[in-house]
Amino acid sequence: MISFIVSIGILIAGYFLYGNFIERVFKADPDRSTPAYRLRDHVDFVPLPAWKAFLIQFLNIAGLGPIFGAISGAMFGPSAFLWIVLGCIFGGAVHDYFSGMLSVRHNGLSISEVVGIYLGDHTKQAIRLFTVVLLVFVGTVFLVGPAKIIDELTGNFADQWMWVTIILIYYVLSTLLPIDRLIGKLYPIFGLAMLIMALGLLIALLSGQYAIPEVTFSNLHNMTENPEKTPLFPILFVTIACGAVSGFHATQSPMISRCVANESQGKPIFFGAMITEGIVALIWAAAAMVFMDNVEGLNTAMAANHNNAAWAANEIVTAMLGSTGGILALIGIVAAPITSGDTAFRSARLVIADTFSLKQDSIRKRLYISSPLFIIAFLLTLVDFGIIWRYFAWSNQSLAVVVLWTITAYLYYAGKCYWISLVPAVFMTMVCTTYILIAPEGFELDHSIAYAGGAITTLCITIVFRMYVRRKKTTFDINYV
């Protein structure tokens, strides 16, 4: 219990201490006009109050991640606490703040365009395609996932595909309508519901007779049933993404960057939303660890239910929050992923529009871009959900790697403290390269070979990056930012 409480305290302190430091490094300018005002179009560029922008950003980046990812990550034991706290403060919050604020400085451009500015046209072209694919994956995951949960919560009242159809119709509307019409009105309500649910779980954990495991040297080992098949490094660092470091966030931040009314709001909106998500992930991880008395019990129960995190989430909320839990589960566990799925499609539309410089002033133009995305997503729902989730998880973290290197390039060109993003960039590069070499959906190599291959690949990428930015710094105009 002490480790859990201390972890929450560190996350909160990280917002005020490290968040202030990051803001000073970037040098947010409250007197500088933002794209929300300069480019206002009443569709995507719309100034919003800071509290509303925060709740939208929080729901955009949260979704199933801090719930499903935290539950699955809890199967590794208290190591999950360390990754959530350290990853969130020094990786995820830095990643989210800079991806959002660099977009603000570049007229609300999508992350692929921002990457191109700092890492070149070749990287930009690759990330354009990669980002759209990732967003379609996200939209598909958050289309099937909520449908499964609703189906289970309603006792299979209707066919799952009916719920898929209903959610897809909502996605179409939220992608096409101006951001303040549907998203701006629903998100504050759903955001509060998700936070209230997390608060309810926190109160239950603190007031109940729950023995949350402590972070000790003896506990920092892989507690999964098959450690050889699921090595803590790198599997844990891909399993828990949205509560620590997530590339998907970089696709969402530019959407909100078009609504930021003042640069001084960047810290509470971008850095703050990530810290809040870290706290939510921490609560769910702790709840999962005590769900079946201990971590071993969690692993046994998950194995018996095909590692179905949706089942575990429903059981946890109902058991800890009683009759009220079912309602909160329906609102929080269902609404949260839906409100990430809709903005995934909206962000994909913006990426494609930025790529081809297409205006989005009419609903016909927005439908022209969005229709193929919805068709592809629906077809992907026919693929096994587990496969989609695994490839989403890896591609999600891979995008985070590219964005962290992009941030490092910006800081290097500007002569600022580039180590604040260089360290997480190197670490996450090692995570992603090792994962694809060691995971069943990758090359499934022997562990020693995979670790060596990951280390060598990471070193090569670091050397190439250093050579590139040193050469480009001589011609890069940092005043452009």
Residue 435 included in any domain: no
**pLDDT band, residue 185 (cuts 50/70/90):** confident
> What pLDDT was estimated at residue 337?
74
| Mean pLDDT over the full length of the chain | 88
Contact 63, 309 (CB under 8 A): no
Residue 445 pLDDT > 60 = yes
Residue 289 included in any domain: yes
Residue 57 structure tokens: 């950003």
What pLDDT shows up at residue 329?
63
Q: Which token pair is 419? A: 């180590």
**pLDDT attached to residue 331:** 66
The whole-number pLDDT of residue 326 equals: 61
Is 286 a member of any domain?
yes
Give, in order, the Cα–Cα distances in Å from 314 to each of 118, 193, 318, 404: 44, 15, 6, 34
* CATH code of the domain containing 38: 1.20.1740.10
Q: Is the dihedral of CA 398, 75, 324, 166 positive or negative?
A: positive
Residue 337 burial (CB count, 10 A): 28
Q: What is the pLDDT of residue 145?
A: 72
> Mean of the pLDDT values across residues 117-138?
88
Report the alpha-carbon angle 382-388-390, nearest 5: 155
Cα within 13 Å of Cα(393), Cβ side? 29
Domain presence at residue 234? yes
Number of domains in the chain: 1
Could you give the angle at which helices 93-105 and 111-119 cross, rounded to 10 degrees?
90
Structure tokens at 455: 């280390």
Give 260's strand partners.
48
Q: Indicate whether 444 belongs to any domain.
A: no
Whether cis (ω within 30° of 0) applies to the bond prior to 440 is: no
Nearest Cα to Cα of residue 247 among 136, 423, 45, 111 = 111
Average pLDDT over residues 137-155: 74
Report pTM. 0.91
Max CA pair span of the chain: 64
Q: Determine the structural domain holding residue 185 and report its residue range.
A: 2-385
Confidence of residue 59 (pLDDT cuts 50, 70, 90): confident
Instruction: Answer whether 56's CB lies under 8 Å from 252's CB.
Output: no
In a domain, 306, yes or no: yes
In a domain, 468, yes or no: no
Q: Nearest CA to 25 among 137, 127, 102, 136?
A: 102
Whether 232 shows a pLDDT value over 90: the answer reads yes
pLDDT value, residue 388: 60
Query: Measuring CA to CA, which residue among 146, 138, 176, 182 is closest to residue 164?
Result: 146
Any domain includes 402: no
Task: Output the CA torsion sign for 143, 236, 241, 451.
Answer: negative
Tell me the backbone φ, ψ of residue 260, rounded to 5 degrees: -70, 120
> Has residue 228 got a pLDDT over 80?
yes
Write b or e for each residue in 40-66: b if 16 or more Cβ atoms lie within 10 A of its Cβ, otherwise e.
Answer: eeebbbbbbebebbbbbbbbbbbbbbb
Residue 36 has what pLDDT? 95
